[in-house]
Amino acid sequence: MGDVSVSIPDNMSKEELKDKLNDWKWRINNLYYITNKDGKKILFNMNAAQLYFFRLMWFRNIILKARQLGFTTFMMIFMLDAALFCANTKCAVIAHSKDDAKRLFREKVKFAYDNLPASIRAMMPARNDSAGELVFENGSSITVGTSFRGGTLKYLHVSEFGKICAKYPDKAREIVTGAFEAVGMNCVITIESTAEGKSGYFYEYSAEAERNQKAGRELTNLDWAFFFFPWYQDPNYTLDVNLPIVQRLQIYFLELENKYGIKLTNGQKQWYAAKERTQGEDMKREYPSTPAEAFESAIEGAYYSKQFDKIYAQNRITRVPHEPSALVHTFWDLGVNDMTCIWFIQQVGREYRVINYYENHSEGLTHYVSKLRELAVDLDYSYGLHVAPHDIDHREFTTGLTRKEQAASLGINFEVAPKLAIMDGIEACRAILPLCWFDEEKTEKGVTGLMNYRKEWDDKAGTWKGRPLHDESSHPADAFRTFGVSVRTLQGLMASGYGSQGMYEDDNEINTAEGWA
């Protein structure tokens, strides 16, 4: 490496310094400066979570975490060091917005490089120091932006990938198909984020990686290693006070201990209670105790976030058995090229028991009628209303028939849901969700869709648009909206004694499990 004269530490010989400069861990903890939360310049030193990750880093890494653990800062220092001390090492960081990319480059990468000992900078000068990129004379580089396509990378870090997946699904797809493909199988990708609902690449990769971890499966270079860093592992998250804690949180802390073996100190409980007063419904997403809890919380811009916060708090996603004495009503969203979704719901007293959910695509009506018959036989369902949105009355050019008429020819008569504006339908769902119980196993996909049903993000204006995002979550949400706007119709029919006859052409033959066998 040649003779060097570094200003730190003063009592170290050149030979000792050369040895130290060959130690990656020592370099990271002794050469780079950052600014802390108070804006003061301090020497970077890995915290416990960062050191744990540094030791166990895999080729593909998923980091699900609480806020303020500094993983993006760590990865930028890690990659800057790799670029400086390993020739021809290309590194890239992807942030979820242009402003974040500019800030991260300026405050993390550029600041750390500019504050290196002068002798180190002289050894490894940047021959190209442009906005968002440092290129070094040894052929290495580090780039910070919102995307990366073309070329090859040794290290790639994606910051807040969950937010990218939630707000910018097209950008997330571009990262997966473009940037990820620029990283060889023997190179390193790290994606970190707080959770943003149960949809998108970040959730899917995290769920698969956690399953592999629990199963003790040996990973290939292309498998994702799962890292979860809960809030209570950070020693800073404690308060030395002894204030009363509300009963709801006392029960929550007791459940953590009994179910997961997570025993919190009084200081940690006090910190959590104080933090929750400011974070509110975002607390579990921003400071999760378990991976499942992190993804429980609805994402930003979700239409039903407050409703599902209460549903989870009241344990209304659980085992919900079919009630044989009550009719099973179905509520549909009929797709032509998109997904067709069906909710199976019983009214028992004032409650609505959501006992099943089914979705499929690229299938005709015959498939869905057969599925209903199959469930009637297997699960002893007796059907009542079948309700579809108003577009079921649209006449198809090829057959000259409406889909309602086609369904009738197959033995199922549809009621047509009232035609309301989308936002009126969403308000109807918000009103009825407090009366709903969901079967945890049979409605999992549908519930995930409802939790992730959200507004479309306007990147240019930096705000939410006044309409829903059309994605995989909108289909189950549209079907549930069919239910929401039809509740009054259902209640009226039930009040009038409906239930003695089915909604089929031949009630005695088709509306019973025996007739469908």
Q: What pLDDT, on a 0 to 100 scale, did the predictor assign at position 515?
A: 30
Six token digits for residue 117: 């000992």
The separation between the first and the last C-alpha atoms of the chain, rounded to the nearest angstrom, is 80
Domain boundary among 208, 229, 250: 229
Kindly state whether residue 52 falls inside one of the protein's structural domains: yes
Q: What pLDDT, on a 0 to 100 scale, did the predictor assign at position 503?
A: 36
Are residues 386 and 412 in contact, defined by beta-carbon separation less than 8 angstroms? yes
What is the rounded CA–CA span in Å between residue 279 and residue 372?
44
Kindly state whether residues 239 and 118 are assigned to the same domain: no
Nearest to 354 by CA among 379, 320, 391: 320
| Residue 171: other Cβ atoms inside 10 A | 17
Kindly state whether residue 399 falls inside one of the protein's structural domains: yes
Q: What pLDDT, on a 0 to 100 scale, did the predictor assign at position 499?
A: 46
Kindly state whether residues 500 and 373 are assigned to the same domain: yes
What DSSP letter does each residue of 61-76 carry, written as one string? EEEEE-TTS-HHHHHH
What is the rounded CA–CA span in Å between residue 277 and residue 279?
6
**Strand partners for 135:** 128, 141
Are residues 64 and 296 in contact, defined by beta-carbon separation less than 8 angstroms? no
pTM for the model stands at 0.72
Kindly state whether residues 411 and 498 are assigned to the same domain: yes
Which residues form the domain of 137? 46-229
Kindly state whether residues 431 and 347 are assigned to the same domain: yes
Q: What pLDDT, on a 0 to 100 scale, did the predictor assign at position 506?
A: 40
What is the rounded CA–CA span in Å between residue 249 and residue 231?
16
Helix segments in 161-224, DSSP class H: 161-167, 169-174, 200-215
Kindly state whether residues 217 and 146 are assigned to the same domain: yes
Six token digits for residue 325: 């004495």
What is the rounded CA–CA span in Å between residue 514 and residue 128?
77
What single-letter DSSP state applies at residue 402?
B
517 residues of the chain, pLDDT tens digit each: 333 433 455 566 667 777 888 899 999 999 999 998 888 999 999 999 999 999 999 999 999 988 778 899 999 999 999 999 999 999 999 998 888 899 999 999 999 999 998 888 888 888 877 778 999 999 999 999 988 876 799 999 999 998 888 888 888 999 999 999 999 999 999 999 988 877 789 999 999 999 999 999 999 999 999 999 999 999 989 999 999 999 999 999 999 999 999 999 999 999 999 999 988 878 888 899 999 888 876 677 889 988 998 898 898 999 999 999 999 999 999 886 778 999 999 999 889 999 999 999 888 889 999 999 999 999 999 999 999 998 887 766 566 688 888 888 888 899 999 988 999 999 999 999 999 999 999 999 999 899 889 888 776 666 778 888 888 889 999 999 999 999 887 776 665 555 433 333 343 333 433 332 2
Kindly state whether residues 256 and 328 are assigned to the same domain: no
Kindly state whether residue 140 falls inside one of the protein's structural domains: yes
Split into its structural domains, the chain has a count of 3
Reduced to 3 states (helix: H, G, I; strand: E, B; else coil), residue 169 is helix
Kindly state whether residues 275 and 328 are assigned to the same domain: no
Kindly state whether residue 398 falls inside one of the protein's structural domains: yes
Burial, 256: exposed, middle or buried (Cβ in 10 Å; 0-12, 13-18, 19+)?
buried
What is the rounded CA–CA span in Å between residue 302 and residue 284?
15
CATH at residue 457: 3.30.420.280
Kindly state whether residues 197 and 90 are assigned to the same domain: yes
